[in-house]
Amino acid sequence: MNIFSWTYNELLFRPLFNLLVGITNILPSHSVGWAIIGVTIIVRLVLLPSALHQAKALQKNQDKMGKLQKELKLIKEQYKDDKAKQAEETMLLYRKAGINPASGCLPLLIQLPILIALYRVFYIGLGSETFQYLYPFTTAPEVLQTVFFGIQLTEPSLLLGIIAGIGQFVLMRFFTPTQNTSAATDESAQMMAMMQKNMTYFFPAMTVFIALQVPAALSLYWVASTVFAILQQYIVKRTLHLSSNPPAL
């Protein structure tokens, strides 16, 4: 096992797996469904500070870029026949204005490995074949309640998939910052706005499709995670006074 695999397993996957088993053990009904929701909320709360930092960085960049529309238009007109020079001057303008396009990426890069490990925890599920990942002080549950509100979490669930897809659509439709195509100042901005519009429908559809291929435990995680993300975005917009106008689709 190389250093990367060891780090992933010992510092991310195993702690999250043992957290899931531990919560399942202390629940009176030993409900795997409620344990999944509990672990999802705990992880999302731990990641909340980095998410807030990311939102602040993105909003700061958006505010600065909003003040540069005239300069950006002049650059486009002045170098309309030289795309390379246009891009160079645009980046120079951004640098002078203190805009760092990558400022919101670091928190996302920190969150991604944790969420991947969490995904794997719910994908492999709980069972005698997975208890090998338990710490010596974590007791393997003798009883597991894998039925959650009539849904068998070890099998795919169309209902949970549809709920997850609807939640994904709401999150992207009302809470993802987008740029109106009619207000875009250049071709690249128009293309980005169109891509965001298409993704608003594509991702929810893909969520439902994937949910039909994986255990419902993973779909439940998507539902819980998406609901938390919607609430988080609502609070962030209220707290940071971010623009809340939904994109015109």
Domain ranges of the chain: 3-240
Q: 152 has which bridge partners?
A: 147
DSSP sequence for 47-93: HHHHHHHHHHHHHHHHHHHHTTHHHHHHHHHHTTT-HHHHHHHHHHH
CA pair distance 138, 23, nearest whole angstrom: 11
CA distances, 238 to each of 50, 171, 174 (Å) = 17, 16, 14
Three-state secondary-structure class, residue 102? coil
| Between 91 and 163, residue with greater pLDDT | 163
pLDDT in tens, 183-220: 444 555 566 567 767 777 888 888 899 889 888 998 99
How high is the pLDDT of residue 19?
92
- The top-scoring range by mean pLDDT among 11-15, 181-185, 239-243, 245-249 is 11-15
Q: Would you call 45 exposed, middle or buried from its count of C-beta atoms within 10 A (0-12, 13-18, 19+)?
A: exposed
CA pair distance 230, 9, nearest whole angstrom: 30
| Count of CA atoms in the C-beta half-sphere (13 A) of 134 | 18
Go through the chain and tell me how many residues it has. Answer: 249
For residue 42, what are its two tokens?
A: 């705990």
pLDDT > 60? residue 91: yes
